[in-house]
Amino acid sequence: MLTLENVFAGYGEAVVLDDCSLSMREGESLALLGRNGVGKSTLLLTIVGHTRVQRGAMKWCGQDLIKIAPHRRARAGVGWVPQEREVFPSLTVEENLTVTSLPGKWDLQRIYTLFPRLLERRKYFGNQLSGGEQQMLAIGRALMLNPKLLLLDEPLEGLAPVIVEELCEAIGNMIRNEGQSLILVEQHVEQALNLTHRAIVLDRGHVVHTADSPELLGNLGMLEKWVGVRLQ
């Protein structure tokens, strides 16, 4: 479904992704791991078209992704939830969900089943929600575009443990029960690996390791070396 081959990309003349390659199939979920500042968010931004690609090839369902304008990539099936969430503060939850929605299996009923809190707060404005509720709304709004691939940029960052648990359950349901293709950037390494099929590790904009997620979860030395975490 998605292939990056020897991609060099960044901002202006600055190169952040350095000879980066990856591929994923439809229905697959991928954890994107690495220390802070190694290019994880830049990789997502490159897929959605917000960086300058200097060299390399990107294919999306057989098409040249680089030639697809950024504003057309959502309609081509690329969904994105940025770290900043960017919900519309003056729209209600329900208006946020429907304002950019596209036809498909993800509709209001399915989003409310995935996130019951949003059903309870469907008349609240975006700026009346907690941080965790805004994150649920941002994910729900992206799903309402019915993407083939969903990009999640650190969705668990700064949230209370009970909200992290709810979001992990929802992401797990998307992957296991809905077959949603997904790339997850996350500093909560154990949760990310427990949720996904496969993982890649970035260092200085380059893929340094690829493995099935359960295999990487059991490789504590690799995680400590490249990600800087020590699991119990």
Domains of the chain in sequence order: 2-226 (3.40.50.300)
What's the pTM value of the predicted model, to 2 decimals?
A: 0.93
3-class DSSP assignment, residue 181? strand
pLDDT at 231 over 80: no
Residue 29: band (very low, low, confident or very high) from pLDDT cuts 50, 70, 90: very high
Q: Distance from CA of residue 147 to its chain's centroid?
A: 12
- Read out DSSP for 52-69? EEEEEEEEETTEEGGGS-
With 80 as the cut, is the pLDDT of residue 229 above it? Answer: no
- Buried (b) or exposed (e) across 193-230, using 16+ Cβ within 10 A? bebbbbbbbbbebebebebebeebbeeeeebeebbeee
* Cβ atoms of 172 and 155 closer than 8 Å: no
Query: 11-21: per-residue pLDDT in tens?
Result: 999 999 999 99
pLDDT digits (tens, 9 = 90+) for 81-100: 999 989 999 999 999 999 98
Detail the DSSP E strand segments found in the chain: 2-11, 14-24, 29-33, 52-60, 63-64, 78-81, 149-153, 181-185, 198-203, 206-212
CB 174 within 8 A of CB 79: no
160-172: average pLDDT: 95
**What pLDDT, on the 0 to 100 scale, is given for residue 230?**
61
What Å distances lie between residue 203 and 35, 36, 194, CA to CA?
7, 9, 21
